[in-house]
Structure 1
């Protein structure tokens, strides 16, 4: 099913001997890696890992933006605390603050609704549809025409797949448009919060420790998937029953030691391993610095606008947490680029390739010129899109624009509507608009937008979208818009769904009016993006084919860049040295919590947990070599954003931990994998079980899971 792609070792940015742990592999590629899996000690047959219908892959699932896995036959799902944060926040109030105090449902009846944005995706089928997407595309098409033709074919493939409404399907591009796979996922819409430790456990160390090691965080939570009595996905209802998964992961409390092999399965978001030097420099010198400045300013505004109001703080807790995470990662990328000149490394590879191509390349003679032009256009358009985002940085305006666009798109047949605005998308739009109720305050939104407009005013006029400036409100003129709108009311906001475009044009609501006035400028920017993407999708796969021809005798089957689809990676439990004279890991222990404890956030672990450590109530979760309970550990597995919550399994496919982060020095692995310093950070299953037993007394869940305890 998979067309093997062979790339030169140099393009992968690692030596042949160091390739062992690099790779975010599609499951069906794993049989090609038998010798590697055997070398590190994995005993599960590669053919079984490639089969999504068999254990353990049938237990691996996704939640929005994260990974997860089934750990009982009754739909019990384990993921990270920060992945369940939306559900925790949704159910929290100042009087019942489950963020601060944690939550545990002792019975199924006590489980709380996760909300419309908390869903579970179960991947059931992956098929190569490259020919159906690309075959017969006219050579003379413009970039926009090509992009729209590809889009139309993808929509048809999705519609065909979603004839059964229990499923959600997608056709993402692999290898930057060279291949397309159709992914069929069961979509479970009734997902409930079961258990989450207190934030002082689940986020111990907070943003200070984010991306750092040593870490001491219990980043885990439990959800439960529910379906109708017929076993099919259904809307949330008290009559629904727990989902019966095809399989679930057995939990192993036997633990790991340094050098042990691990498998990691999940849904990594985006990597850029095959970008060119110019793209690296654009990210390093233009895009990322702008992002850091924007997020830093936005966080300052949120902090000031919510200060002293517990309700406002709760509402924006998830927003601030997400922004802080992106901020630290982006800063880490910039620091990583400063530490190792990845662009220069790529320069040397690129120069060698271009010399070879002039002499031996069989592709188009103008390929490299076309490639450079397409990338330059992409970077220029990205700058305009960044400016647009600053100018329209309001959740209320975003809602108004979404509603108006939905009305416009519904004037056309469903198959001709833009992706994201078809009938299949309406329920998700409703969920986003309803979710705003938990994460929106008019005065905070106004302050954030006003600050963003100030930032927009400082952007070079040459990179601002044409025609936008004259349509924007004055920086100090936002108050009347917020005073005159009804979109802040959830019921009235949702009532706009289904209204025709004429109703929007006639509306006196200032946000609706602004959305109407901005539409043409936004649409022109979208059209430009289509032209750019269409040209990239045409030329980049030809470039990749040429690279394959250049060094195919040196390479191995290679993974495509991460794109949110199911992947498997592997590695070993391993320490690392971030700088001379310092070695970190591979384990931290509960004693480190006592050392870090200050009694003030974010180092304010619960007294019950601290006392259990002082009393050394370690029981079956005590590591014999460490003499205590391990908290977090490092491995050489290849991960990125989206891998949060990924199951970390031992050589037999048993759950031994959850992935939740990377070390700060590893952040640039999204662009370049350096095996010497790249480490993923995982929460040890023994710490999770220990907290459940000794701190939160989640005995009902410990009983529900199948747990293998160490002998003796």
Structure 2
């Protein structure tokens, strides 16, 4: 779980010294302007060229985006990759079975031949970036609607991406920043042959479960390890037994000297999304309408998954990954509701916007900015109930595999029906492969219960905005008890089994598909989710322009305090220090910036799903078998705190000391600062990290996989 003047260059050059160094998610290309001198005063011993360079290897070459949603780092000359356990969770679950449950029992490859390839996994290396703001903004004008503006921008983006992909060698992505006031392109190279090297057992990798998620003190071995493979020339290649471990341009040395309060800590990674320019009324909408629906619907989905997961190990594996993902955001969104409410974030933003509105309505600014705040507030007032509705429906789609069939395998069958005989022959194997994967990840009785429960919640709680017509009709007839209807719908659907799908492929019929009860229900809900009235469509168009102007005006007027762009899954650097929280009696550590193995053992509950521990861990702790990874204080440190500015997507990011050496692995934030995606709290914001010494102890001492540690460059 985690996470944001006329040009960014000017913005960074004008950063006032009052901005705390630990706030901000900064572009690497502006590292020299990122107050490099202050970073050096805090403990940085690297030049800006050693962090980001196009022509020479640098830290950036060791940082990868992991499977599109997390961060990871290269830690050996032979392509060894370290990331979080929860980032590798899907791949580990896929490779597991009831007989060989690597998720539960852990796994360490004894040799390269034992490293296992999941079906779909990739890492993305960052090559370079550049500013194309002037070029793109020259294609738009204030007379355009938002749709016209988007079309013009996308056309130019397509040209830029083609210019820089070198015939398909690279992936190029042009992204907007500061709500469409600036644009930069990013060049990446993707490697798809990524294999599992090892993972701790779930009792360590997920220790504390949902109870400890987003909490401190924490005692979790949240890491897993993979290896990147390439062809003989080091180029990306599809899986082949002939591929060889990638020799990365740079990999991180590992420092096992430990950390202490106020040590310099730098994190590079791919933070997913922050909303630090979000208007006050947007925050109010989330707190009162959107997030409560998200939380409630997530809990309904989780409860219905859990009752089947508890029935057998096989069913637990089927839903383990989906459950973990839903649970993570369930607690996150409740934490955000609590934090945003407690700290009055909307009130703070309202005061800022009032100040801006006064400036905006001065004669010289009124034509451009005068209606900005009123337009934004009108949009949120109009869409509050729709936001509640959309979250109930979105989580229904997220937790029920059957609900979105209209846009997944159903869409493939739709295309299949329209194709000629020759094309169908080409499409059929891929559709059946998709069906195989689909049915591996579901259990029909569970899917019936999940869908029925979510339809009941949606129909009874989304009362301020019209629900999907077919759901409304069904609910009126069944008193909003959808169990019988769902049972009939799924049993009568061609999506109920692989065999039925295969039969449909053998005898395709547009009429059969169009009348399929599950397909009809799915498309009814999907269509309703994206539909909007003319009034909402106009308000949304006006809002897009107004929000862009709000950000532009806040920067121009210097009323806005944020000097860096919101996170959007592009590579960023954040720097700060190892920093404790106030003393906590739940933590046995001498200072509340780290936790110990002894503290983990104190949480141990035999047989408990969240707090059980392997007997070997208990014995090793009792005998203080910490090997070379114990701290000088005589304990084994497990997790530690820094005050870095991170969010979701930073999971798996390396925590580096001033020399660029790996000291830990970021994996979570503290729930007290859960409002961090909207507003940075300088007092409470913390990043929770796995101490690299604990990672290595689990591998070398607990798991007897010293050969993996021997690949790394260790610094004492």
Structures share fold, TM-score greater than 0.5: yes
From the superposition, tell whether residues 7 and 581 of structure 1 become closer, same or farther in structure 2 (CA, over 3 Å): farther
The residue that corresponds to 1:92 in the other structure is 96
The residue that corresponds to 1:443 in the other structure is 445
**Could you tell me how far apart the structure 2 residues matched to 1:399 and 1:443 are?**
17
After TM superposition, the structure 1 stretch with the greater mean CA deviation from structure 2, 543-552 or 368-377, is 368-377
The residue that corresponds to 1:154 in the other structure is 157
**Preserved contact between residue 264 and residue 569 of structure 1 (Cα < 8 Å):** yes
Structure 2 residue 365 is matched with structure 1 residue 361: yes
* 1:316 match: secondary structure: helix
Structure 2 residue 180 is matched with structure 1 residue 177: yes
Q: How far does residue 171 in structure 1 lie from its aligned partner after superposition? A: 2.3
The residue that corresponds to 2:553 in the other structure is 546
**Could you tell me how far apart the structure 1 residues matched to 2:345 and 2:435 are?**
41
* 1:612 match: secondary structure: helix
Within 5 Å, which residues of 2 pair with 1:435-584? Answer: 435-464=437-466, 467=469, 469=471, 475=482, 476-487=484-495, 489=497, 503=510, 506=513, 509-515=516-522, 520-522=527-529, 524-525=531-532, 534-551=541-558, 558-577=563-582
The residue that corresponds to 1:51 in the other structure is 53
* 2:235 match: secondary structure: coil
Structure 2 residue 599 is matched with structure 1 residue 617: no
From the superposition, tell whether residues 386 and 664 of structure 1 become closer, same or farther in structure 2 (CA, over 3 Å): closer
The residue that corresponds to 1:415 in the other structure is none
The residue that corresponds to 2:75 in the other structure is 71
Select 1:104's aligned residue among 108, 115, 121. Answer: 108
Structure 2 residue 404 is matched with structure 1 residue 398: yes
After TM superposition, the structure 1 stretch with the greater mean CA deviation from structure 2, 292-301 or 230-239, is 230-239
The residue that corresponds to 2:425 in the other structure is none
From the superposition, tell whether residues 218 and 466 of structure 1 become closer, same or farther in structure 2 (CA, over 3 Å): closer
The residue that corresponds to 1:304 in the other structure is 307
* 1:99 match: secondary structure: helix
From the superposition, tell whether residues 700 and 89 of structure 1 become closer, same or farther in structure 2 (CA, over 3 Å): same
**Preserved contact between residue 56 and residue 653 of structure 1 (Cα < 8 Å):** yes
From the superposition, tell whether residues 591 and 248 of structure 1 become closer, same or farther in structure 2 (CA, over 3 Å): same
**Preserved contact between residue 70 and residue 77 of structure 1 (Cα < 8 Å):** yes
Select 1:251's aligned residue among 251, 254, 261. Answer: 254
**Could you tell me how far apart the structure 2 residues matched to 1:484 and 1:162 are?**
47
Q: Structure 1, residues 94-143: CA drift from partner, whole Å, max 9, x if none?
A: 11111111001011110111221x21111112222333433232433333
Within 5 Å, which residues of 2 pair with 1:688-699? Answer: 688-699=695-706
Q: How far does residue 160 in structure 1 lie from its aligned partner after superposition? A: 4.7
Q: How far does residue 555 in structure 1 lie from its aligned partner after superposition? A: 6.0
**Preserved contact between residue 166 and residue 233 of structure 1 (Cα < 8 Å):** no
Structure 2 residue 43 is matched with structure 1 residue 41: yes
Structure 2 residue 144 is matched with structure 1 residue 141: yes
The residue that corresponds to 1:704 in the other structure is 711
**Preserved contact between residue 8 and residue 555 of structure 1 (Cα < 8 Å):** no
**Preserved contact between residue 582 and residue 592 of structure 2 (Cα < 8 Å):** no
Q: How far does residue 354 in structure 1 lie from its aligned partner after superposition? A: 1.4
**Preserved contact between residue 49 and residue 56 of structure 1 (Cα < 8 Å):** yes
**Could you tell me how far apart the structure 1 residues matched to 2:63 and 2:448 are?**
41
Q: How far does residue 445 in structure 1 lie from its aligned partner after superposition? A: 1.6
**Preserved contact between residue 388 and residue 462 of structure 2 (Cα < 8 Å):** no
* 1:634 match: secondary structure: strand
Q: How far does residue 232 in structure 1 lie from its aligned partner after superposition? A: 2.4
**Could you tell me how far apart the structure 2 residues matched to 1:700 and 1:203 are?**
24
**Could you tell me how far apart the structure 2 residues matched to 1:681 and 1:588 are?**
11
Q: How far does residue 189 in structure 1 lie from its aligned partner after superposition? A: 1.4
Q: How far does residue 450 in structure 1 lie from its aligned partner after superposition? A: 0.7
**Preserved contact between residue 470 and residue 521 of structure 2 (Cα < 8 Å):** no
**Preserved contact between residue 90 and residue 438 of structure 1 (Cα < 8 Å):** no
From the superposition, tell whether residues 381 and 174 of structure 1 become closer, same or farther in structure 2 (CA, over 3 Å): farther
TM-score (norm 2): 0.87
**Preserved contact between residue 79 and residue 222 of structure 1 (Cα < 8 Å):** yes
**Preserved contact between residue 403 and residue 496 of structure 1 (Cα < 8 Å):** no
Aligned residues: 687
**Could you tell me how far apart the structure 1 residues matched to 2:561 and 2:431 are?**
44
Select 2:268's aligned residue among 255, 265, 269. Answer: 265
Where does the alignment leave 5 or more consecutive residues of structure 1 unmatched?
A: 413-426
From the superposition, tell whether residues 215 and 515 of structure 1 become closer, same or farther in structure 2 (CA, over 3 Å): closer
From the superposition, tell whether residues 57 and 472 of structure 1 become closer, same or farther in structure 2 (CA, over 3 Å): farther
**Preserved contact between residue 294 and residue 395 of structure 2 (Cα < 8 Å):** no
**Could you tell me how far apart the structure 2 residues matched to 1:29 and 1:459 are?**
48
The residue that corresponds to 2:3 in the other structure is none
**Could you tell me how far apart the structure 2 residues matched to 1:129 and 1:532 are?**
29
Q: Structure 1, residues 484-509: CA drift from partner, whole Å, max 9, x if none?
A: 33435569869999x99x84875664
The residue that corresponds to 1:81 in the other structure is 85
The residue that corresponds to 1:328 in the other structure is 331
Within 5 Å, which residues of 2 pair with 1:379-390? Answer: 379=384, 381-389=386-394
**Preserved contact between residue 276 and residue 346 of structure 1 (Cα < 8 Å):** yes
**Could you tell me how far apart the structure 2 residues matched to 1:496 and 1:265 are?**
49
Within 5 Å, which residues of 2 pair with 1:267-282? Answer: 267-282=270-285
Q: Structure 1, residues 183-213: CA drift from partner, whole Å, max 9, x if none?
A: 2221211211110011111111211211111
**Could you tell me how far apart the structure 2 residues matched to 1:35 and 1:429 are?**
57
**Could you tell me how far apart the structure 2 residues matched to 1:544 and 1:256 are?**
39
**Could you tell me how far apart the structure 2 residues matched to 1:542 and 1:428 are?**
46
From the superposition, tell whether residues 180 and 533 of structure 1 become closer, same or farther in structure 2 (CA, over 3 Å): farther
Q: How far does residue 330 in structure 1 lie from its aligned partner after superposition? A: 1.4
From the superposition, tell whether residues 564 and 531 of structure 1 become closer, same or farther in structure 2 (CA, over 3 Å): farther
**Could you tell me how far apart the structure 2 residues matched to 1:230 and 1:121 are?**
18
**Preserved contact between residue 62 and residue 267 of structure 1 (Cα < 8 Å):** yes
| Cα RMSD, aligned residues only | 3.6
